[in-house]
Structure 1
Amino acid sequence: MHMALFRRKFTRAYSSALSKEEQLRFLNLLHRLLTTGYSIIDALHILSLNNQFYETANRISGALKNGKTIDEAFELTNFHPTIVSFLYFTKISGDIIENIEKCRNFFQQQLKYTKKFHHVIRYPLILITFFLILLFFIRGSVLPSFQEMFQGHLSSISSIHLTFHIIDFLTTFFMTIFLLSGIIVFMWKKFQHFLSVEEKIKFYQWLPIVRGLLTITNSFYFATHFSTLLKAGFSVKEILTNMKTQKKLPVISFYADIMIDELSNGVDLSYIIHQFPLLDKKLTVLFQSKTDYSSLQKDLSVYAEMLMEEIEYKMMKFLTLLQPVILVVIAILIIFMYASIMWPLFQLIKTI
């Protein structure tokens, strides 16, 4: 009786899903144990000795013992879709250590730049909020006082009216941007599930930054998993069939389905890849120049590593430029507001 109550309390204490940072730590520890020779079940048993991972490790271990595949077991414990997608190909290739290593490296990079983006954008957002409050204060309190003060001075009054119009434009502009952004994000989260993959791809093509990022990441996924399955001895058709079957990378699944159909009609794979807007055109060069699967596998593996570096470089460049650009724009607007308020005073001084 007491033991059952204790077990229920203990289980409830660990019922919440792991955070992204905890998931990364779990992967790192699991990879370390596997590389030292532990089986997956034994490694999970060792991890269950850590209070933080007790329930997660036991649930994964129990799912595996009940016949679930490794990706299904991790999905049951609410691991991130990126991790689950890598583990899907692990069960096919059988190389769990290499796939977990690739998975943790890519997931670590994702977390690193997501946190950095939040850190970079936080201060400018605070400044923009204070700037909007300042605009409302000037519009509602300062400028009406100026109107009363400069009544009868036509040049000063005209400057104040101009400032009114400018502030109205700026407040309307910023509020419209925030409102539209909020509506778009809300609508996307609510209705994206009703859109087909093809419709989503068309939508992504209208967003240059999103399109560029998705092109690199989808190319990375495609090259990594294609290389992994080639190394495991699968044929091109078998690889594409497995890519089509998985559900965590919908764009890759959609493209793989088209590739299978086109290949059955005798179309060259490099030509098919070239038609896809969210795959890097450099992939076509790799598939054109290689007929030997061994060399193609190595080239795709190296290409995936280069894409990882490119993602890191572009994210660093974007984040390095983002904050200064926003701060410069805010500084220009503040200087402009100061000049707009002071200009009527200068005109009044000239008339004295």
Structure 2
Amino acid sequence: MHMVLSRVLKWKNSPSTQEQYQILYRFEQLFQHGYSLNDALDVLTWEKQYTAVVTTIKQALQRGETFVESLEQVNFNPNVVSFLKIAIQHGNLSKGLHHCCQMLKQRKEFLTKLNKLSRYPLFLFLFFLLILYFMKTSIFPSFSQLIGSSNTISAFQNAEIAINMIYYGTISTLLLVIFLFLISITMKQQISIELKIQLIKRIPIYSKYKQMQTTYLFVTHLSSLLTSGLTIKDSLEVIRSEQKADLMNYYSTMISDHLAQGYDYSTILPQCHLLQEQLTQIMSKDRNQNQLQKELNIYAEHLILSIESYLKKWINFLQPFLLSILALFIVFVYLALMLPMFDYMNYM
């Protein structure tokens, strides 16, 4: 329980995706204009909404921590921290900031659209729960006391049972979702990478998104390291040397060990289930390092557009789907209320 609370508090104290994007974007712009890190931090303190985050970063730097470690102190996105760490190690800070801004911008736009699309269905859902509660606690008990006919009472009892099933079923579903969310927070760092991959593969919709996202991160890591002059082998070693046990580390270790045994990419990449098959085609071609780096850059741009299109498609589907479900529930509740009343009127 303490672990769950600490994670929730950490999430609560983290800067929002919008704030992370704005801060890194300002860093990118200021670095391009020749500002040093300290000067860029001083400029960012001019904006009051970033003062607390920037002050924490400056204090971490004054304690001797690196720029990436200072971002960890203010709970920046782990993918951003990992990417910047590798980028800085190999002199590609500008490109690393650019890729991180792209990732955060995409996430920011997705969350904004999701918030707008879910606001109205959420309001209707809460209103629907309120109606159910009012019917359960006020309307049906009043009708049961008013009506004396056993046939009509039976009809009202059936309707009341249906309303109770919807009401308690909805509450139980919400509690189950909250429970699973808390369990996922607790178990996230305890289960193995292999089990995580198997679980992700079994989640509809999210599995494809995660596959595209993981491929994008892997491709941008490789492309950035190749730009700095490293070979593919050295690039994989850099990624696998990261202490953080994540998908990038896991897959780079798999691929590196497989290549060291004399095999090629066509036999190992298909075993990396959260990497798209197009990556196998790219890596298996006979290309020199510069050609491969350019092709990976093009593929990364394709992936970011594909992720945006995929998310937009499911977001546009989400609102009418939720509204349709709510409409069916409302019609059912209306019939559960009106049909027993019609029976009562016919009996009279």
- Would you say same fold, with TM above 0.5? yes
Q: Does 1:233 align with 2:217?
A: no
Match of 2:58 in 1: 58
> Which of 264, 267, 272 in structure 1 is aligned with 2:268?
272
Question: Which deviates more, 324-333 or 74-83?
Answer: 74-83
TM-score, normalising length from structure 1?
0.85
Kept in 2: contact 1:121–1:323 (CA 8 A): yes
Task: State the shift of 1:186 in Å.
Answer: 0.8
Work out which of the residue numbers 112, 120, 142 in structure 2 matches 1:145. Answer: 142
Measured in 1, the distance between the counterparts of 2:343 and 2:46 equals 77
Asked whether the equivalents of residues 163 and 336 of structure 2 are also in contact (C-alpha less than 8 Å), the reply is no
| Secondary structure in structure 2 of the residue aligned to 1:193 | coil
Given that 1:93 and 1:232 are in contact with CA atoms closer than 8 Å, whether structure 2 keeps it comes out as yes
Cα distance in structure 1, aligned partners of 2:321 and 2:331: 15
Residue by residue over 1:185-207, the C-alpha shift from the partner in whole angstroms, topping out at 9 and shown as x without a partner, is 11111222211222222222221
Question: Which residue pairs with 1:252 in the alignment?
Answer: 248
Structure 2 residue matching 1:208: 3-state secondary structure? coil
> Equivalent residue for 1:183?
179
2:30 alignment counterpart: 33
Shift of 1:46: 4.5
State percent identity of aligned pairs.
29
Distance in 2, matches of 1:322 and 1:162, equals 32
1:41 and 1:141 map into 2 onto residues whose CA distance is 64
Q: CA deviation at 1:137?
A: 2.3
Provide the C-alpha distance between the structure 1 equivalents of 2:40 and 2:140, rounded to a whole number of angstroms.
69
- Aligned counterpart, 2:9: none
Please tell me whether the aligned partners of residues 160 and 344 of structure 1 are also in contact (alpha carbons under 8 angstroms). Answer: yes
DSSP 3-state at the match of 2:35: coil
- The within-5 A match list for 1:209-228 is 209-228=205-224
**2: distance between equivalents of 1:57 and 1:181?**
35
Question: How far did 1:225 drift?
Answer: 0.9
Question: Given the two structures, how large is their TM-score scaled by the length of structure 2?
Answer: 0.86
CA apart distance, 1:62: 3.5
Task: Kindly state the Cα deviation for residue 153 of structure 1 after the two structures are TM-superposed.
Answer: 5.1
What amino acid maps onto 1:257 in structure 2? T
Equivalent position SS for 2:189? helix
C-alpha distance in 2, partners of 1:311/1:249? 24
Q: Among 18, 37, 45, which residue is 1:21 paired with?
A: 18
What letter matches 2:296 in structure 1?
A: L
CA shift, 1:253, in A, is 0.8
Unaligned runs of 5+ in 1: 1-15
Cα displacement (A) at 1:330: 1.0
Give, in angstroms, the shift of residue 235 of structure 1.
1.5
Amino acid at match of 1:62: Q
- Read off the aligned partner of 2:248 and give its amino acid letter: I
Larger CA deviation: 162-171 vs 46-55: 46-55
Larger displacement relative to structure 2 (247-256 or 104-113): 247-256
Q: Which has the larger radius of gyration?
A: 1
What RMSD in Å do the two structures reach over aligned CA positions?
2.4
Distance 2:126 2:38 in 1: 51
Q: Look up the equivalent residue of 2:303 and give its one-letter code.
A: L
> Alpha carbons of 1:340 and 1:230: their partners in 2 closer, same or farther (altered >3 Å)?
same
The 8 Å contact of residues 56 and 73 in structure 2, kept in 1 or not, is answered as no
Q: Contact 1:70–1:91 (CA<8 Å) still a contact in 2?
A: no
Q: Which amino acid in 1 is paired with 2:232?
A: V
Give, in whole Å, the separation in 1 of the partners of 2:343 and 2:45.
76
Deviations 1:227-250 (A, max 9, x none): 111122212221111111225570
Change (3 A) 1:39 1:256: same
Alignment partner of 1:107 is 2:104: yes
CA deviations over 1:259-309 (Å, ceiling 9, x no partner): 121111122123211112211122111112243222221111111111111
Q: What's the secondary structure of 2:169's corresponding residue?
A: helix
SS in 1 for 2:76: coil
Residue pair 1:70, 1:87 contacting (<8 A) in 2 also = no
- Counterpart residue identity of residue 58, structure 1: K
How far apart, CA to CA, are the structure 2 residues paired with 1:129 and 1:144?
22
Verify: 1:164 aligned to 2:160, yes or no.
yes
Q: 1:322 aligns with which of 313, 318, 327?
A: 318
Which residue does the alignment assign to 1:8? none
Greater CA drift, 21-30 or 277-286 = 21-30
Instruction: Give, as a single letter, the amino acid of the residue that structure 2 aligns with 1:167.
Output: I
Give CA deviations for 1:172-193 in whole Å, capped at 9, x if unaligned.
3212211111111111112222
Letter matched to residue 225 of structure 1: H
Deviation, 1:49, is 6.0
Secondary structure of 1:38 counterpart: coil
Cα distance in 2 for partners of 1:44, 1:149 equals: 72
Distance 1:290 1:143, change over 3 A: farther
Letter matched to residue 160 of structure 2? F
